[in-house]
């Protein structure tokens, strides 16, 4: 039945159903205009909000994909980490980023690289700590990023944590710890630190989870390549030293 120029509920439901089908196939994004007095207004408005959320997520995923592709262009590990530091700032908030790797036996974690806009001195490359007994054991076990949104309170609860004390002394107030895995084996962590408390939300954990596999693999390959370059450079230097020694010996 029709009431003047108004469509029946069935007609309006079919209109929304057509829009949803178009949304599913990416052929239509704009929801037909809805009268707030319409009895289906609440449903229509929720559909509109859902479409907007999907569009935002699509844009974020595309941006993440572009960022990872930029990182892939790097060859040496320092270059890749620098790319991540400069390009991820618009996706994950941070004032400092640190990358640390596990030893071959998985017993120790050593900071490899760090970049920061904070003035205070924090955990520096070369800093090593055992994994056993640390909270990072739980992060590895869960395989999920961890958020600490009040580092000062966390340090008060765990005063024996030397790394947390260094981070807090350096101006860090909240952190996002992201584990790295290659072939289901833990290889290290990326630590994002903010100078403000309550910086990190579930969405930031979700963002990293979506690209964790790619980032882990990129860093692993770059690290392997970097170590190979250093090893070859060492061998070349040793060869040159030996040749120079032989030439000097022949003179005498």
| Terminal CA-CA length for the chain | 113
Residues paired with 190 in a beta bridge? 99, 178
pLDDT, position 154: 97
CB half-sphere exposure, 187, CA atoms < 13 A: 19
pLDDT, position 4: 43
pLDDT, position 2: 44
pLDDT, position 234: 53
Measured torsion, CA atoms of residues 98, 103, 105, 108, in degrees rounded to the nearest 10: -60
pLDDT, position 105: 95
pLDDT, averaged in runs of 10, over the chain (252 residues): 56 77 66 70 76 72 68 73 84 93 96 89 89 95 97 96 94 96 95 97 88 85 78 60 58 56
Strand, helix or coil for residue 109: strand
Could you identify the residue written with the tokens 């022949």? Answer: 250
Integer-rounded Cα Rg, in Å, for the chain is 26
pLDDT, position 143: 95
pLDDT, position 197: 97
């Amino acid at each position: 039945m029709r009431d003047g120029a108004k469509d029946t509920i069935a007609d309006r439901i079919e209109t929304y159903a057509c829009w949803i089908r178009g949304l599913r196939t990416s052929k239509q994004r704009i929801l037909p205009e809805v009268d707030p007095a319409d009895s289906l207004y609440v449903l229509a408005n929720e559909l509109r909000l859902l479409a907007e959320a999907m569009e935002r997520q699509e844009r974020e995923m595309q941006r993440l994909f572009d960022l990872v592709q930029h990182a892939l262009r790097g060859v040496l590990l320092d270059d890749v980490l620098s790319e991540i530091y400069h390009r991820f700032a618009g996706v994950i908030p941070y004032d400092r980023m640190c990358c640390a790797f596990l030893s071959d036996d998985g017993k120790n974690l050593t900071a490899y690289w760090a970049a920061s806009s904070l003035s205070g001195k924090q955990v520096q490359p070369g800093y090593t700590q055992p994994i056993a007994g640390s909270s990072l054991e739980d992060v590895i076990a869960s395989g999920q990023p961890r958020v600490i949104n009040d580092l000062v309170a966390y340090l008060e609860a765990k005063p024996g944590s030397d790394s947390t004390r260094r981070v807090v002394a350096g101006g860090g107030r909240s952190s996002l710890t992201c584990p790295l895995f290659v072939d289901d084996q833990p290889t290290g962590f990326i630590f994002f630190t903010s100078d403000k408390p309550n910086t990190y939300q579930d969405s930031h954990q979700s963002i990293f989870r979506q690209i964790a596999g790619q980032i882990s693999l990129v860093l692993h390959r770059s690290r392997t390549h970097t170590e190979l370059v250093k090893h070859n450079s060492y061998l070349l230097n040793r060869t040159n030293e030996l040749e120079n020694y032989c030439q000097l010996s022949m003179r005498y």
